[in-house]
Chain A
Amino acid sequence: MKLRTFKGGIHPPDNKHWTSHKAIEDCPLPDELVVPLSQHIGAPSVACVEVGQHVAKGQEIGSAKGFVSVPVHASTSGEVVAIENRPHPFGTPLPAVVIKPDGEDSWSSNLQFTDPGSLTSDELIEKVRQAGVVGMGGAAFPAHVKMSPPPEKPIHTLLFNGVECEPYLTSDHRMMLEESERVLQGVALLQYVYGAERVVIGIEANKPDAIALLKKQCADAAVEILPLQVKYPQGAEKQLIFAATGREVPSGGLPMDVGVAVHNVSTAAAVTDAVMLGRPLIERVCTVTGPAIKEPKNLRIRIGMSLSHLVEVCGGLVEEPGKIILGGPMMGFTQVGLDVPVIRGSSGLLLLREEDIANSPEGPCIRCARCVQACPMNLMPTTIAAYARRDLVEETEEYCAMDCIECGSCSYVCPASIPLVQLIRHGKAAVLAKKRNALL
């Protein structure tokens, strides 16, 4: 049977064999945790503790500001030693709460077990918000916002993203294998909130063990396990929805416009913790991998651990890294150093050696059309990029630059090594600036 997928896309070497067979390990606590107050899309949280104060594990240390925002919690018990600007994965230093662990690692006494059956769906969403649950695939969009669609947009299909199409990363894969109960419990809770008729877990066919296990565990439940063709970016929201439902999210629209909600499988597990145990999102699984690392591992890390600590736990470096990437190689962000902390959206830490870095000089476009054929959004990347380079804003917009999902497929295949994604981002920024100016 031909597996479902989308049009376009690429087949980069997945390099998952480094860690896909390795069980999740608990990462020991470091001497210092730097918990940034800005870890999600939306307004940053505001510190609500003071320097010198003792905090318990799971205690709120930054409160949410506005609806599209979530609180931030202490990842362990200890003393707040500083609240100041610290290096941040986004590139420039941002406010963070620095905690010196006391070694007790004791949970806050306010957190307790709740019977989800006694909760209304609004109460459930509130618990998710309080726990600071965000999308754990990388974008870190607050989950409670996604869980509250307006009444005129009913959700009939609830889709879980277990695709993990980024090369190297295996954290979702290990979650589905080792913590399938937590994942499935979260799936059930989210189904209750949305009242969706159809529940699907989409998994790329390169994870047959996870597919088999979840199929077995869902044999009696109404959850459909959907194997998908191995192709990047199968896990991109719009492409996943198309593969699972045959519907296209309209240009400029959201999944709810076609009656679908998408959550990552790890987010489902975090929802379970939040609702059943009242435990906030203070840890996650992160794949530490790449040719520059001695022992690649899947680590259960606390939010705020520094990258250097993760590297140390994985046996250190083989050689000086040339590139440090938080996230996957296709959409991850390069880092300025190893003193940066991991945040809620950090699904992987990838260290490349200098020789692994794609660095061929840019040449002229030979119009080979590979980017056009690779684009999962059916755009003409080379045309958009050419307009963006010359700052022709209207033409950039006309060729649908704003529909670009920045998956990187075009840059990956470009034989002329044109930084297509970067140029399109440049163009998108210009289009947005023009729109802002028009409003003023």
Chain B
Amino acid sequence: MLAAILSLGCIGMVAAIALGIAAKKFAVEVDPRELAAMEVLPGINCGACGFPGCAGYAKALVTGKAEPNLCPPGGAELMTKLARILGVEAIVMARQTAVVLCQGDNRKAQLKFRYLGLEDCNAAQRIAGGPKACPGGCLGLASCQRACPFDAIEMTADGLAVISREKCTGCRKCVAVCPRDVIRMTPYESSVHVMCNSHDKGAAVRKYCQVGCIGCHICHKTVPEAYKLEDFLATVVYEQDAQAFEAIPKCPTKCIRDFNEGYPEGSTFLPINNDKSDAA
């Protein structure tokens, strides 16, 4: 018994010493700034910066190949930290958040046909342009949800993707994967959106969707500077949308939504109560 303990202990000791020596001898010199950058980076390797993971970005930062404002998940706070580590002036990028501009779930929007096959939006889009009658609406096959590294997207029971404004870090992975271009990057501060992506004429939209934009111009007439219309589709002008919420009750198809008031029907996400008077 004693012999066993002693011999094992000795083996352990020798191995530990050998490892210690090896670690010293073969140590690789790393720029301390790179290590510091790695410390503060989120470490989720989402690739939004365009480099292979956070380590790749850290390396690019210290070698001067990248600016410190390329990490949307880290937000403004991280950018300032990185700039301090690198000894440069911080250029803060405004926080952006992704929004699915569609409320036409399987109950509110018509289908052209019944799709059989791979549960993937890009695969479905290749079959006669996808099963949704609306050419721009959310297909609801969860490709964006699978692409999201932050678990910020949920699928409602009726097949609509909804993105949490709080969990979204603005990495744009969902935007890249969506075949219908229905996910848009918007300023985080802007909570009012026209929830439609169909450029069809109003009459056509009415045929296939209860909550689509019919291009009636009422929002634009109510708050002219906050809305613009292009090809029968209204969009919020995010640079000057302070009064955009005034048009919400006027919209005949209830297509405009203030995310501070609530998420689309079926979503389990809850709005963070942004009291307007408080913000102002």
Contact = CB atoms under 8 A, between A and B. Distances in A.
A28 interface: no
A422 B121 CA distance: 12
A422 B118 contact: yes
Interface stretch (A141-149, A165-173, A259-267, A423-431): A423-431
A425 B126 contact: yes
Interface of A: 90-92, 334-336, 357, 359, 419, 422-423, 425-426, 429
A90, A357, A422, most chain B CB atoms within 10 A: A422
A92 B131 CA distance: 11
Nearest to B131: A336
A263 B128 CA distance: 28
Given A91-B129, A92-B129, A336-B112, 11 more contacts: A91-B128, A334-B113, A334-B128, A335-B128, A419-B117, A419-B123, A422-B117, A422-B118, A425-B123, A426-B123, A429-B122
B127 interface: yes
Pick the 10 closest A-B CB pairs, nearest first. A91-B128, A92-B129, A422-B118, A419-B118, A419-B117, A91-B129, A426-B123, A336-B128, A422-B117, A422-B123
B75 to A, nearest CB: 27
Interface of A is mostly: loop
B205 to A, nearest CB: 16
B229 to A, nearest CB: 22
Contacts of B126: 425, 429
A423 B118 contact: yes
B1 to A, nearest CB: 49
B116 A426 contact: no
A358 B169 CA distance: 42
B181 interface: no
Contacts of B123: 419, 422-423, 425-426
B123, B127, B129, most chain A CB atoms within 10 A: B123
A422 B126 CA distance: 10
B120 interface: yes
B147 to A, nearest CB: 9
Contacts of A422: 117-118, 123
A425 B126 CA distance: 10
Nearest to B128: A91
B200 to A, nearest CB: 11
Nearest to A418: B118
A336 B118 contact: no
